[in-house]
Amino acid sequence: MGRPVCISLITHDIAISVQVRWAAHLAKLRDMDIVFVQRFEVVPQRVVDIDLAAMATVDDHPSTTELKQAIHAHPDLSVGAIEVLKDKAPDVTGTTLRKEECDKGEHSDPGDNPAEIRVLAKAIYADNYASIRKMIIGLVNTYGANVFTAVRGNVLSDQSRELVVERSRLLEFLPCEVIICQGFTEDMAFSRVAVLERTGGNQQAALRLAADLADDNNGLTAFQVNPDIGIDAYPVGERRLDKFLAKLPRLKKQSIKRCVSVDDNLQQAIRQLWKESAYDLLVIPATSLRPEHSVGLRLGLNIPVAITVSASPFSSQTRQIVKDTLRQRVPQIAHAERVELVERVQSNAEWNFDFVALMVLSASIAALGLIQNSAAVVIGAMLVAPLMTPIVGFGLALVQGNLMLTKMSAHALLRGVLVAVLAGLVIGLLSWNFNEPTRELFARARPGRLDIAVAFLSGLAAAYAQTRSNLIAALPGVAIAAALVPPIVASGLFLSLAEFELALGAFVLFTINMVAIVLASMVALYAVGIRNRKKLRWPVRVIAVLIAAFTALLFWSSTNTYDVDIAKDIPAGIEQAIEQILGPNYALEDITIAYDELGYQLNLDVRGKEPVPPDLAKAVRLKAAEFYAEASRIRLITRISAEYF
């Protein structure tokens, strides 16, 4: 195995000599070789070697000439071969580069001096940021790079949408540690370093970089800024600093200066620290995959900063595999179809007269069907209900990061739920013969795992059907499967009967189904290619809340069975009458009632040494029917047991 490798991206908004000096310093500290990468907006797209052994030629780009001069002028750098991790390396088209193509131009032998830093240089030709990103990731994978670094003059100066998106995706898929720098100058040192405590998963990378750079004579300061929360602000800051420094156990904490500042303005506190102490560099752990969100970049160029992102090869490769698999296996939605989808969902999820009218009608139909105990009428209400669209719209808004659609869908959903509950309550109060829950109502008061599975699958089907114009016809069937309106209306009907526990159960059933559909719709929409390109934080927080709420409601519903006493529906004296007819050779074990769309069925569980004769069974059924004024279905089941008598 060769030495670790650092990939250093050469940018065009700062002197190349500054970038070479930084990469060389970092490589020397960590005993790494360097692959410098220059990018040019030229087609066709390709990666080529820069011949560093040859001095500047007339065909070289000025920046290439500057790179060669800076490399040859640095005493620690030596042009040499660097081991390729794999025999094949991916290019931007998904094909492969032969190993000899990757290594072409690597002329000199590394020599006998292991302290020398061997360097290569690659030129990336591409006219778009997506291709540049793919080529950089390909080079990182080819050489098994441990670190990717870039020094910018001012990261915030170029904020084109394409650049922001692709830079974020680059940080998402790079499997190595990333160090992005700003504010570096030609003569700056790196010995006096301050590292800022920030929450997140990149603390260890920041501490390691700061410890590597700082000299051993109290050259490292750990800095923590805590909001002014009163007298506890400083002790809380000390505890957070302790936890931060514990991320790197090998650090000698007695050689680290500690500084806790109480200030509500983080930037102001950092600037004050910089004025009071002469530091060379501020190291900050990244809190997101968007460097422009870092407080360090907003401090200006007068404070040199290095923003770190920890290496996460497993998660990066997993994300890449998942996305590649989805793109290959699931038909991706085209731009025109995506625009049509958003427009359709946004129009149908809006709270307007059409939505209100359909909501009132569907809720009223569902209420009457539940009171009449008619499954067919309830199914009709499901077809009319417009709630599926705002629920899918809510999932679409979270996947896309569309705040306006989120608010619109949430408003329509909340108001629609309120209309359904009120409709059930009012119709229940106005129905003079509605005195007790029906079987259809009871069926909506008991949240079950099968209902949740149906809701999740319905959400997948609804979202996927929405993305395909040829599958819109499937939405009525999805609406029936999801059954969103009946549980809400059932909650209102239970309230009219003062059955508060059952009302809560019905509402919990709807809530679980709704959250399951939102989460499922997000999965389906993500799979077809709809993404949050801006990498916003608020959708992640909302999704986390939804998952937590879904888990809590699922646990709560599993501990509340909403048992309903149906023994009162069994007429008094029926057991004695049946036992008298059965005689001594048979025993009546149990009587249960089963409900379905055809009415009820009386199940008689009889135990004996042999099956009940047909004549005796007929006599038992006739006797049981005498206890019911209406026609009933009676089923007699004989359980054979030779040892029973």
More confident residue, 15 or 254: 15
pLDDT of 303 > 60? The answer is yes
Quick check: 635 and 604 in contact, CB under 8 A? yes
**Mean pLDDT value of segment 167-190:** 88
pLDDT of 88 > 80? The answer is no
The residues, ordered by sequence, that sit 6+ positions from 479 with a Cβ below 8 Å of its Cβ are 382, 383, 385, 388, 462
Cα 18 to Cα 13, 178, 188, 228, 537: the distances in Å are 11, 18, 9, 39, 34
Residue with tokens 């069925």: 601
**Is there a single domain that holds both residue 458 and residue 368?**
yes
> The domain that contains 194 carries what CATH number?
3.40.50.620
**Is there a single domain that holds both residue 532 and residue 578?**
no
More confident residue, 394 or 158: 394
**Is there a single domain that holds both residue 521 and residue 597?**
no
**Mean pLDDT value of segment 280-287:** 90
Domain boundary among 503, 534, 559: 559
Lowest-pLDDT choice from 95-109, 241-255, 297-311, 327-341: 95-109
Distance CA 335, CA 333 (A): 7
Which of the 8 DSSP states describes residue 225? E
Q: Is residue 223 part of a domain?
A: yes
The residues, ordered by sequence, that sit 6+ positions from 562 with a Cβ below 8 Å of its Cβ are 445, 446, 501, 502, 505
Domain boundary among 329, 358, 375: 329
pLDDT tens digits, residue range 211-238?
889 887 677 899 999 888 888 888 888 9
Percent of the chain with pLDDT over 90: 15
**Is there a single domain that holds both residue 301 and residue 317?**
no
**Mean pLDDT value of segment 240-259:** 77
Quick check: 508 and 553 in contact, CB under 8 A? yes
- What backbone phi and psi angles, to 5 degrees, belong to 441? -70, -45
Q: Is residue 64 part of a domain?
A: yes
More confident residue, 62 or 83: 62
Amino acid in position 90: P
pTM of the model: 0.59
Token pair belonging to 260: 């806790």
Which pLDDT belongs to residue 326? 64
**Is there a single domain that holds both residue 84 and residue 17?**
yes
Which pLDDT belongs to residue 454? 77
Q: Is residue 162 part of a domain?
A: yes
Which pLDDT belongs to residue 27? 94
pLDDT of 570 > 60? The answer is yes
Distance CA 192, CA 256 (A): 11
Which pLDDT belongs to residue 114? 54
**Mean pLDDT value of segment 72-80:** 88
Q: How confident is the model at residue 481 (pLDDT cuts 50, 70, 90)?
A: low
**Count of beta carbons in the 10 Å neighbourhood of residue 18:** 18
- Report CA dihedral (82, 87, 90, 96) to the nearest 10 degrees: 130
Token pair belonging to 542: 């909302």
**Mean pLDDT value of segment 259-263:** 90
**Is there a single domain that holds both residue 264 and residue 276?**
yes
Token pair belonging to 43: 């087609």
Report helix, strand or coil for 299: helix
> The domain that contains 376 carries what CATH number?
1.20.1080
Which pLDDT belongs to residue 110? 42
Q: Is the dihedral of CA 343, 345, 351, 352 positive or negative?
A: positive
Q: Which domain holds residue 237?
A: 183-310
**Is there a single domain that holds both residue 192 and residue 55?**
no
More confident residue, 588 or 85: 588
**Is there a single domain that holds both residue 45 and residue 148?**
yes
pLDDT of 578 > 90? The answer is no
More confident residue, 563 or 373: 373
Strand 633-640 and strand 193-196: pairing?
unpaired
Domain boundary among 559, 582, 617: 559
In terms of Cβ atoms closer than 10 Å to its own Cβ (0-12, 13-18, 19+), residue 374 is middle
Q: Is the dihedral of CA 488, 490, 496, 502 positive or negative?
A: negative
Mean confidence (pLDDT) of the chain? 79
- What backbone phi and psi angles, to 5 degrees, belong to 522? -65, -40
Beta bridge partners of 6: 34, 147
**Is there a single domain that holds both residue 71 and residue 119?**
yes
**Is there a single domain that holds both residue 237 and residue 285?**
yes
pLDDT of 328 > 80? The answer is no
Q: How confident is the model at residue 118 (pLDDT cuts 50, 70, 90)?
A: very high
> The domain that contains 601 carries what CATH number?
3.30.300.70
Number of domains in the chain: 4
Q: Is residue 645 part of a domain?
A: no
**Count of beta carbons in the 10 Å neighbourhood of residue 58:** 5
Cα 261 to Cα 211, 225, 270, 295: the distances in Å are 21, 5, 9, 16
pLDDT tens digits, residue range 28-65?
999 999 999 999 988 888 899 888 887 766 667 888 88
Q: Is residue 603 part of a domain?
A: yes
Q: How confident is the model at residue 115 (pLDDT cuts 50, 70, 90)?
A: low
Cα 436 to Cα 319, 371, 444, 488: the distances in Å are 53, 9, 14, 18
**Is there a single domain that holds both residue 520 and residue 626?**
no
Q: How confident is the model at residue 1 (pLDDT cuts 50, 70, 90)?
A: low
**Is there a single domain that holds both residue 443 and residue 302?**
no
